[in-house]
Amino acid sequence: MKRIYVCGLFLCALSVYMGMGCSQTVLINESEVKHKMICNERADKALMSEDYETAIALHERILEKDPHNGLETYHLGYLYGQLGNHSEEVFYYEKAIDLGFKEDRIFLNLGMAYGELGQLDRAIGAFKQDLVSNADSTEAHLALAMAYQKVSARDLAEKECLEAIRLDPKNLDARFLLTMLYLGRDEFEKASKQLRQILAIDPTHEGARRYLEDIERAEP
């Protein structure tokens, strides 16, 4: 059988931060632990309305007075990410984790920021960290699969894709990534099976239809 060309556009870089922290851990007392979860209403409103530059200025002003506020620190990282400044995004996610803030899927978001920076080893560690408390997260398993695929750990990527599909059988992204993995190993029968399942879920999926037609044309 002829080799099928695998398009790389779908296999975007994702990654995650391991939560090691880039600065020394800050020791805070119990009252500060509770306070660090509070978000300023005005700053949060600017964030929710996608006025990112105003939101950044407000969050930075708040953190000047309240540097132990982990939630505001996390939000500041998110805001920088929305503007494409992933180095600053990572910095503030790490700082939030150092402050003890580990809510709102921070490891998953930090991982995606690391993916933008191409730091895939840390991405893998962070996706794993997210899965410690979110074992049934299809999104985290798929993100980990993509990171594994990027570092050529294809067997591990396959395992994570299969877990994502087990959790969500209609997840087209997981099935399509799994198809790409099978095509990369010339496992055309397995790839065809996944493509047919994708088309059964979404008959309009052009990528699946195109690859399935390519496979069928290449059959002896």
CATH class (in words) of the domain with range 114-168 = mainly alpha
Whether residue 16 is predicted with pLDDT greater than 90 in this model: the reply is: no
Alpha helices in 21-153, H assignment, sequence order: 30-35, 41-48, 52-65, 70-82, 86-98, 106-117, 120-133, 138-150
Residue that has been written with the tokens 């999926």 in this structure: 205
Q: Which residue ranges does the chain devote to CATH 1.25.40.10?
A: 29-104, 114-168
* 82-124 residue pLDDT tens: 999 999 999 999 999 999 999 889 999 999 999 999 999 999 9
Contact 56, 50 (CB under 8 A): no
* 22-59 residue pLDDT tens: 222 233 333 343 444 566 778 878 888 889 999 999 99
Instruction: Note the CATH architecture for domain 29-104.
Output: Alpha Horseshoe (1.25)
Q: Measure the CA dihedral 90/92/97/98, to 10°.
A: 110
